[in-house]
Amino acid sequence: MRYLTFRDLQAKLGGRGRTTILRDCELGRLPKPVKIGSRLYWSEADIDATLQELANS
């Protein structure tokens, strides 16, 4: 399982802003991050599944 840093996630989402990404997580549009130490990480598999689901809608 690979984890994405915030910058990796931002690049994968086409350069979306920090506030927008965090709002999408709060509203359930994106999976919630995992906090490891003081940093946030997102499961790449969860992000890919969410993007695929949105593309099929």
- Closest to 8 in 3D by CA, of 49, 54, 55, 40: 40
pLDDT at 42 over 90: yes
pTM reported for the whole predicted model: 0.88
Mean pLDDT over all residues of the chain? 95
CA dist list (Å): 44 to 16, 32: 16, 12
Using CA atoms, how far apart are residues 22 and 15, in angstroms rounded to an integer?
A: 13
- Per the structure, the count of domains in the chain is 1
Quote the pLDDT of residue 41.
97
Residue 41's DSSP bridge partners are: 34
Quote the pLDDT of residue 1.
87
Domain of 31 in residue numbering reads as 3-56
Mean pLDDT of 2-19: 96
Contacts for 35 with CB less than 8 Å, ≥ 6 apart: 41
